[in-house]
Amino acid sequence: MDGVHDLGGMQGFGPVEVELDEPTFHGEWEARTFAVAGGALGAGGFNTPMFRHAIERMDPGHYLTSSYFEHWLTAVATLLVEAGMISRDELDARAGTFALSRPPTVAADDVQLVSGRDAPSFAVGDAVRVRDAHFAGHTRCPRYVRGRQGVIVRVEPVVPIPELEAHRNEKVLDPTYGVRFDAAELWSDAAEANAPVHVDLYERYLEAV
Amino acid sequence: MSDEHGHRPEPLSDVERRARALEELLTEKGIVSSEFIDQVVEAYAQDVGPMNGAKVVARAWVDPEYKQRLLADGTAAIAELGFGGPEGDHIVAVENTPDVHNVVVCTLCSCYPWPVLGLPPNWYKSPPYRSRMVREPRAVLAEMGCDVPDDVEIRVWDSSAEVRYLVLPARPPGADGASEDELAGTVTRDAMIGVAR
């Protein structure tokens, strides 16, 4: 989805704020939430794409004003409620209003099952263009590279397609690649010199040039 | 935070109340056990962190054959030192040279090589870093105190699929007599993300 989480290239967020001597967890609740999430995802059989999509489905205002572990908290609670393992009422009774993510806008049946590919079609050095697709559900193809041309620099593992894991809980394989984009291809006259960007992309996102 | 010394406990913040609600609900229902939660918290607080990556880097600095294995198959070379686990199935090491500086980001979420660096710092997960690093890396690095000369190529790696990146920094000059342990002590998390040289 073209969501608020897809931040690459957006402007207006200001400087990177670095906290000196930052602890791994800011408060006990972050550590507990990290562990609770791991346990609950395993217990519910939720895969990583499902979890990521539950974060992406957060209200955009909530997403931008909450911390990483609040994203985790919200997403895990959402998945558990959607699966019927806990109820929204049970959460609200203990915590006041417990903000959850929005429902998915893509139904499983809307996502076509495709046959997998277990061997790469592209090789290092091949020129490729990223398909300009705008899927409303979970995808790992960032907006800022769609429609752009790059070069394969690394053939990466053959792994399950995130769209099908997220929406159909199906593991269908696709090769992945490291793709180099010249900065000017991405940012035109605003590009910095001598600063290519590499993005890891599934073969299904790419077409030969 | 503690009332052991007669202080009143701080009232819980809204997010703390939600976190506690979820944990209590899941442990009461038997979906997640308190023992599991305690084990995970302890492991990530103590056993997993950038000290692991620092050992990998120091080994690569003192052992050219190890360095070749690391650059050829990061996951396997890192496993030689006993590190692996979640977010570590496909680790790629990218080497800084006099002509190339590497830096890692995840624009879509906050992917990070947990087995060698632990969990990411807040700035790595923040909208400013995730939005800007792919668009104006030289400017962001300079703001963070990492000046990269104009003739050095900055390679940005957006970890958007299954690969997790570890930057192999250049060995500092003038440390010829240092032991592997001493070298590991000089390797910072930030250098292994690529926001320091």
Neighbours of A72 (CB within 10 A): 22
Counts of helices then strands in chain B (DSSP H, E): 11, 4
Gap between the Cα atoms of B21 and A92, Å rounded:
9
Q: Is B163 on the interface with A (CB under 8 A)?
A: yes
C-beta atoms of A32 and B41 within 8 A: yes
Strands (E), chain A: 127-130, 149-160, 173-181, 197-202, 206-208
Please state the ipTM of this predicted complex: 0.97
Q: Is B157 helix (H, G, I), strand (E, B) or coil?
A: strand
CA atoms within 13 A on the CB side of A147: 7
Instruction: Give the mean pLDDT of A57-86.
Output: 97
Q: Is A194 on the interface with B (CB under 8 A)?
A: yes
DSSP per-residue string spanning A27-67? SHHHHHHHHHHHHHHHHHT--HHHHHHHHHTS-HHHHHHS-
User: Closest residue of A to B37, CA-based?
Assistant: A35
| Residue B97 per-residue DSSP state | B
The answer to whether B155 touches B94, Cβ cutoff 8 Å, is yes
Instruction: Give the mean pLDDT of A197-204.
Output: 98
Q: Is the dihedral of CA B72, B74, B78, B80 positive or negative?
A: negative
- Give pLDDT tens digits for A131-159: 999 999 999 999 999 999 999 999 999 99
Q: What residue ranges define each of the domains in chain B, with the CATH number in brackets?
A: 14-46 (no CATH), 50-193 (3.90.330.10)
pLDDT at B7: 65
Global pTM value: 0.95
Gap between the Cα atoms of A153 and B99, Å rounded:
18
C-beta atoms of A43 and B31 within 8 A: yes
Q: Is the dihedral of CA B3, B8, B10, B16 positive or negative?
A: positive
Nearest to A195 by CA among B153, B99, B147: B153
Q: Is B196 on the interface with A (CB under 8 A)?
A: no
Size of interface A-B (CB pairs under 8 A): 231
Residue ranges of chain A assigned to CATH 1.10.472.20: 1-103
Nearest to A131 by CA among A140, A121, A118, A123: A140
pLDDT at B175: 74
Instruction: Give the mean pLDDT of A164-182.
Output: 97
3-state helix, strand, coil in chain A (%, to 5): 40, 15, 45
Catalytic residue among B2, B33, B34, B106: B106
The CATH class of A110-208 is mainly beta
Q: Catalytic annotation on B111?
A: yes
Enumerate the residues of chain A whose CB falls inside 8 A of the CB of residue B156. 195-198
Segments of chain B with pLDDT less than 50: 1-3
The helix (run of H) or strand (run of E) holding residue B132 is helix B127-132
Residue ranges of chain A assigned to CATH 2.30.30.50: 110-208
Backbone angles phi, psi at A174, to 5 degrees: -150, 140
Q: Is A3 on the interface with B (CB under 8 A)?
A: no
Gap between the Cα atoms of B15 and A95, Å rounded:
9
pLDDT at A86: 97
Enumerate the residues of chain B whose CB falls inside 8 A of the CB of residue A101. none
pLDDT at B4: 52
User: Closest residue of A to B32, CA-based?
Assistant: A39
Judged against a pLDDT cut of 80, whether residue A172 lies above it is answered with yes
The mean of the pLDDT values for chain A is 96
Q: Is A144 on the interface with B (CB under 8 A)?
A: yes
pLDDT at B11: 85
pLDDT at A7: 98
| Residue A206 per-residue DSSP state | E
C-beta atoms of A24 and B131 within 8 A: no
CB-nearest to B128 from A15, A19, A73 is: A15
> CA of B179 to nearest chain A CA: how many angstroms apart?
26
β-pairing verdict for B164-168 and B91-95: parallel
Q: Radius of gyration (Cα) for chain B, nearest Å?
A: 20
Q: How far is CA A184 from CA A192, B70, B134, in A?
A: 8, 31, 12
The answer to whether A177 touches A122, Cβ cutoff 8 Å, is yes
CB-nearest to B125 from A8, A68, A98 is: A68
Catalytic residue among B2, B13, B33, B111: B111
- Give pLDDT tens digits for A9-48: 999 999 999 999 899 999 999 999 999 999 999 999 999 9
Architecture of domain A1-103: Orthogonal Bundle (1.10)
Q: Catalytic annotation on B146?
A: no
pLDDT at A183: 98
Catalytic residue among B34, B109, B126, B179: B109
Enumerate the residues of chain B whose CB falls inside 8 A of the CB of residue A38. 40
Residues 72-101 of chain B whose Cβ lies under 8 A from any Cβ of chain A? 89-90, 92
